[in-house]
Structures are given as C-alpha cells and as structure tokens.
Amino acid sequence: MSAAESHVMVDVELKEVTKESWPEVMNLAFKLEQGGLVAPNFYRVREFKAEPTFVQLAIFHEENVVGFAMYGLDPDDGKYWVYRLMIDVDQQRKGFGKAALIKLIDMMSELPDCDEIFVGYRPENFVAHALYMSAGFKRTGQMLQGEYIARLDLKEK
C-alpha cells in the first residue's frame, strides 16, 4: 500500500505548472507574502520558465489551483529537496497540504535515484514542522540559512 492509500485524505492532484496555471500560482504566492505567511520575495521567480531547474507543481483540488510545491535534485549537494510547499491562505487547514505532501513523497519514491528527501523550514513555522514530522521527516540537527533541515528516509518507509 502506498503512503497515499494509507491515509484518508482530501483529493488533490499534482500537475506540472504550465503557462495557463502560472498566473494562479503567482496569485497565491503573492497572497501568502501579503499575509505575512512567507517572507517578502519568498517566491522570486516572476516569470514562467518552460525548463526550470526544479519541477514546479501546481496543487489542484476540483480543477482549482490551491497550492504549489517544487522539488528536484539540488546541484550543490546532490540531494533531493522539496521547496516552497504552500497552500492558498483561504484554503489552509483543510488537509490539502498534508495530502499534497504525501502524494509528492509517493511521486519522488518512484524516482530511481531518490532514497531520501530533504526540506527546510523556519524554526517558528510550527505548522510546517508538524506537517513534515507527521509525514515521517526527522530533523537532522543541521540549520541552513536560518532554517531547520529535516530528512525523510525512503528506505525506512
């Protein structure tokens, strides 16, 4: 049984960001900035790139974009990271973040060279902490650029 099947979850779909979904993604990133939920300029890429370094995913619920996440192999450390998991302010606390993270983990588990996943979050971000811990991530004890680093060992799943 996959991680996704072992949870009763709201329905979300992860689809690569396209030119069409890009404005909606930017809108929710902007709302999060304005709400103080993410640092100003948290999301710096203002233009859609057809071939980004990391895979950019729009999180859909019933045809609407409710969130965004990005993952990929960081060329600096050769490790797989999930970056910028975010859910629209008006759509938070409905289970979308958790459902999207579980789907993303399942998706990344299928990659032939991915046996661990790293994330970073600010120490005061207790929601991100709870979310990642509930999905099986454990803090490494490391801090990078003011963020706690946590790791999920896919071999233990």
Residues that bind ligand COA (CB under 6 A): 32, 37-38, 84-87, 92-98, 121, 125, 127-128, 130-131, 134
Residue nearest to ligand COA (CB): 97
* Minimum CB distance to ligand COA smaller for 19 or for 83: 83
Task: Please state the closest distance from residue 144 (CB atom) to ligand COA, in A.
Answer: 13
* Minimum CB distance to ligand COA smaller for 109 or for 125: 125
* Minimum CB distance to ligand COA smaller for 107 or for 112: 107
Task: Please state the closest distance from residue 112 (CB atom) to ligand COA, in A.
Answer: 26
* Minimum CB distance to ligand COA smaller for 57 or for 112: 57
Backbone CA torsion sign across 120, 78, 16, 154: negative
Please, what is the Cα angle at 101 between 72 and 116, to 5 degrees? 50
Task: Please state the closest distance from residue 130 (CB atom) to ligand COA, in A.
Answer: 5
According to DSSP, the residues that pair with 72 across neighbouring strands are: 81
Task: Please state the closest distance from residue 85 (CB atom) to ligand COA, in A.
Answer: 5
Please, what is the Cα angle at 65 between 62 and 70, to 5 degrees? 125
* Type of residue found at 78: G
Task: Please state the closest distance from residue 131 (CB atom) to ligand COA, in A.
Answer: 4
From CA 8, how far away is CA 75, in angstroms rounded?
Answer: 35
Give the three-state DSSP class for 105: helix
* Minimum CB distance to ligand COA smaller for 38 or for 104: 38
Q: In what order do the strands lie in the sheet with 147-153?
A: 13-16, 55-61, 64-74, 79-87, 116-121, 147-153, 138-144
